[in-house]
Structure 1
């Protein structure tokens, strides 16, 4: 065995409380290096006749990536305390892995050798809002969704959809437009809306906030927004707002004062100034988002900034009953601020969803004291690279997804925000070179995976668009110009996710091996076992018989008879196993 590859660490994603009674434990070993792992465990105070009372429980292999195998076990220690180590076996070779290293046999004379989970305190259990696990999100870029109240249009607003989007043009999207089309969202089956910023700002994207306490006048007023939230809630649709607390906009009043007075401004400490006078071009002499001079970075360590932003966090939840915050550029804000932010929001609404925009491994923000989840871009990238770009092989895809699954505890994975496209990326159909069958397989995988999936506005009707600003086109509302077949396909997947027990978060995900270029995975719950089979080739492929199984859903013209299954090119089956 390659001992250097063996890894475990108590807490984080390797040993954690799943609920108030259950501890999850994971172990990493070199791929195909270990055939069996037993968890040796016991209560540290349980001794009889001078002997520590220990038990052995087999661990299951929960997945493999390119380099490692991962092992998993769940147990409920009667006194909520645990000391444990791992017995690794491969043929005649065995070793015991403890906190103090490797031993030929388990050192049971002293519990101090073993890994320690001191006590399962209920306060330490990660508790994300339960409703998020059942939510399918729909992301709306308000300026481009629908123009319902032309009287609010900014000066120079263009006719809806008549020109290509640019970084600076306006088409007049607003809250009334959203309310006018809530039937569309309800018909699709989504039950959560994620709005990109709605606060007063200079740009069309609104990520350059002028006033965090005011609605941008092109969208409506507070009364209209309050009505919008109420109308959503009547339909069982949650509402999440986008907060930009990393940086403000150029026309944010405190920054305007700093531009005029430099370090003499009463707001000088609200920002990160490096010289007495502010210089914006060619490179700003103050910290910004990237090097964008119109987005000065806020100093969230400053008490005045903290008081203002925490007031904002509380106000929109308290006054408008929003259900969550999505936090822009969350990884560049200090952890201490996010801890206070969480406490503030949860005091008002304990089941509010707090989602961070972080594109990389985010475990430091997911300890239960800051965010409930992050935008799951490692998932996004794997799906796009495999299905759409065809950059990686099936084996690489499975490796990457297995790695993603083991990055975080299970409870966090259940509320991970799984998206395929957004205002920051090309649209799904554009990624897939406008191959709708490939796009369909991506939606099938996304909506049958765990977590909380999100659909970017317009993707459900086949809209296209490249990188920003191309991905920010006006929503197409002319029914004859919408891809209604794609809409119906995604609608059916959402219905299946809501109806079938194993389809969503109640189903335990695992890859299955069938044939080359056939993606197969299983979702198992206590009530149901579903097998998903996708043909990744341009040829018809037979995948054999499925006796005593029921076809839950199928691609059109994909089977010969009830027992012999033949997949058309880019076709799929969803089979319920008896």
Structure 2
């Protein structure tokens, strides 16, 4: 059955960074700054880019970076208040943009009221049952060594009830779905029960779990989710380009086809947790190759804000190491530097191609020709067909594949002419071919 998510292309924004919010919350700060409303001036930009949804990073009250939540029912005061959220959702909906929220339900910040109670009332108290026992402060477990992130106890019914209430509350206010942070750290049975209960009131909601390693399909089928993040494909895209080894990408796409038998993965070449694509690639000429793959294989694509302007940023494993990949944006699109516009136009063109071929969300992709530095991909679903040719060699490359009924829809140089040989790709070039005269 077709869902609205089959047509989704997300523009992923990390609001605390995007709006220039201070890195640490100040309890009781007044007046509320209403920074969330700054996103309104970027909604048309997202639509023009070709996106149909706004994927928001954490927006709920937290202590620092948003993943240390202290109140799931309150907009972070550094961003604004409920009226600001309602206004943003209404303005997004006016433009046909869905809103996806970031749900941090594996852990909370140490200022979470129930955790404060647990410390005060002791390990045998009802409040303490909300949290996993462990070696952290107070005898509670923390998330992956981060002492300020206290792990919730997903075997406790009150925690399940809380998560269900939170998700239903914000879906009722206009959100269309949830990205579930650190979904891999939560028992799949918990997700299944939570999602099943939420769907009773919100049957069209979409749930995508953050899963880095492991059995992606099992997280979907056993957890009742719609999708998970496709980190395996993300890694194969940039490393195959850097290493001159398209065999890695071909292998990853074969595994990707297997996932598509079960669900449509959430695909990306950048997000709030990884070094930006323009910094990751060894050769900047290959950014278009990465984007062409993203937009012509199965899945639900997400574009991370700033990548469409070729922003640079390296993630570092230290305090504040995410700051470079979560920068502030200016007040409006007119304030962006002009040198990023060619990359924006490239994203625009390939997003447009994707929207003209919405069947690609569930397409299977076959590597018809693989060499270290040349790759021909043919994506099909039903009667639809798209061929993507990638050449990262220093010489032009004629692909030995059948393109007799295809024409150049997009390429590193734009759309092709009628007399152009579609199988001949220039050095460090790429092409996307579609059926045509």
Note the C-alpha offset of 1:264: 5.3
Residue number in structure 2 paired with 1:534? 390
After TM superposition, list the pairs within 5 Å mapping 1:254-269 onto structure 2.
254-263=114-123, 265-269=125-129
Whether 1:338 and 2:180 are equivalent positions in the alignment is no
Residue number in structure 2 paired with 1:395? 247
Whether 1:570 and 2:428 are equivalent positions in the alignment is yes
Tell me the secondary structure at the aligned position of residue 361 of structure 2.
coil
Under a length normalisation based on structure 2, what TM-score does the superposition of the two structures give? 0.88
Residue number in structure 2 paired with 1:306? 160
Query: Which one of the candidate residues 520, 539, 542 is aligned to 2:376?
Result: 520
Q: What per-residue deviation string (whole Å, max 9, x for no partner) do you get for residues 56-90 of structure 1?
A: xxxxxxxxxxxxxxxxxxxxxxxxxxxxxxxxxxx
Check conservation: 1:138, 1:190, Cα contact below 8 A: yes
For structure 1, list consecutive stretches of 5 or more residues without a partner in the other structure: 1-126, 156-171
RMSD across aligned positions (CA): 2.7
Q: 1:145 to 1:338 in 2, by over 3 A?
A: same
Residue number in structure 2 paired with 1:232? 92
Tell me the secondary structure at the aligned position of residue 122 of structure 2.
helix
CA distance in 1, matches of 2:118, 2:132: 11
Whether 1:144 and 2:21 are equivalent positions in the alignment is no
Check conservation: 2:313, 2:325, Cα contact below 8 A: yes
Which shows bigger deviation, 284-293 or 443-452?
284-293
Whether 1:421 and 2:270 are equivalent positions in the alignment is yes
Q: What per-residue deviation string (whole Å, max 9, x for no partner) do you get for residues 175-201 of structure 1?
A: 111112111111101011111111100
CA distance in 2, matches of 1:525, 1:409: 11
Tell me the secondary structure at the aligned position of residue 255 of structure 2.
helix
After TM superposition, list the pairs within 5 Å mapping 1:268-417 onto structure 2.
268-274=128-134, 280=137, 285-318=139-172, 320-360=173-213, 361-367=215-221, 370-387=224-241, 389-390=242-243, 393-406=245-258, 408-412=259-263, 415-417=264-266
Q: 1:304 to 1:574 in 2, by over 3 A?
A: closer
Q: What per-residue deviation string (whole Å, max 9, x for no partner) do you get for residues 330-388 of structure 1?
A: 1222233212211122112111101111112223322265211101111111112112x
Tell me the secondary structure at the aligned position of residue 183 of structure 1.
helix
Residue number in structure 2 paired with 1:487? 344
Residue number in structure 1 paired with 2:58? 197
Note the C-alpha offset of 1:574: 2.0
Tell me the secondary structure at the aligned position of residue 513 of structure 1.
strand
CA distance in 2, matches of 1:553, 1:397: 21
Under a length normalisation based on structure 1, what TM-score does the superposition of the two structures give? 0.67
After TM superposition, list the pairs within 5 Å mapping 1:45-84 onto structure 2.
none
Q: Which runs of 4+ in 1 moved over 6 A?
A: 557-560
Query: Which one of the candidate residues 222, 244, 248 is aligned to 2:108?
Result: 248
After TM superposition, list the pairs within 5 Å mapping 1:147-226 onto structure 2.
174-203=35-64, 205-226=65-86
CA distance in 2, matches of 1:516, 1:300: 46
Check conservation: 2:288, 2:430, Cα contact below 8 A: no
Q: Which is higher, the Rg of structure 1 or of structure 2?
A: 1
After TM superposition, list the pairs within 5 Å mapping 1:4-43 onto structure 2.
none
Whether 1:451 and 2:312 are equivalent positions in the alignment is no
Note the C-alpha offset of 1:250: 0.7
Check conservation: 1:133, 1:505, Cα contact below 8 A: yes
Note the C-alpha offset of 1:269: 1.2
Note the C-alpha offset of 1:399: 1.6
Residue number in structure 2 paired with 1:166? none
Q: What per-residue deviation string (whole Å, max 9, x for no partner) do you get for residues 247-299 of structure 1?
A: 11110011112233332544111112358xxx63xxx7421101212111111
Alignment length (residue pairs): 417
Tell me the secondary structure at the aligned position of residue 303 of structure 2.
strand
Check conservation: 2:246, 2:375, Cα contact below 8 A: yes
Residue number in structure 2 paired with 1:32? none
CA distance in 1, matches of 2:167, 2:357: 37
Note the C-alpha offset of 1:548: 4.9
For structure 2, list consecutive stretches of 5 or more residues without a partner in the other structure: 27-32, 316-321
